[in-house]
Amino acid sequence: MYEVHIVATWMHIISAVYWIGAILFTLTVLGPVMRCQNTGIAIPIMSEVQGRVRGIVLVAIFIFIATGTFNMYYRGLMDTEVLFESSYGTIFLMKMLPVAVMFTIYFSAPYILKRRSPSSKGVCCEVEGGPKPVGKVFAILHIIALACGLLIVYLGVMLRG
């Protein structure tokens, strides 16, 4: 059972590294470069890249759920007494708040961005000229997700104690 726990923990960590790395890449490299391109180039490229990244992140989410559930079982957190009355359970529950925020951002961001600018196709780029509210919302969502991801990592390290 211990060996399965180690494998599950490593899969959990690798999934987190990918997701946080994708956020950093999109926020610091892809988004800024694409905002400087004309719309005819930027929207198709951003749509394609984000579609591929979102697909892999969706796989990572399933890995998080499976490995996280297994690790909860392994650590005894399925017992409500341990979950709600131990310091380990308290830290775990604190970790679930930013996890919920990240999942919410992941699943709602395309709809939020499309609503702000239908021509943006749910990505950060939009028609040139004027203010770029979709780009700002895109950046804010990624910054919030990154902050939540780093907090999750910190709390996860605290759980390994």
Mean pLDDT value across residues 56-81: 91
Model pLDDT, residue 120: 59
Mean pLDDT over each residue of the chain, to the nearest integer: 85
pLDDT of residue 126: 53
Side-chain-side CA neighbours of residue 86 (13 Å): 13
- Reply yes or no on whether the pLDDT at 131 is more than 60: no
Segment 8-61, tens digit of pLDDT: 999 999 999 999 999 999 888 887 887 777 767 777 887 788 889 989 999 999
Could you tell me which of 65, 53, 89 has the C-alpha nearest to residue 11?
Answer: 65
The answer to whether residues 142 and 26 touch, using CB atoms and an 8 Å cutoff, is: yes
pLDDT at position 49, please?
Answer: 86
- Closest of 150, 147, 142 to residue 124, by C-alpha: 142
Question: Does position 130 have pLDDT exceeding 50, yes or no?
Answer: no
Range from 37-41, 93-97, 130-134 carrying the lowest mean pLDDT: 130-134
| Cα distance between residue 49 and residue 123, in whole Å | 10
Least confident of 28-37, 121-130, 132-141: 121-130
Output the pLDDT for position 127. Answer: 47
Over residues 99-120, the pLDDT tens digits come to 999 999 999 988 887 777 766 5
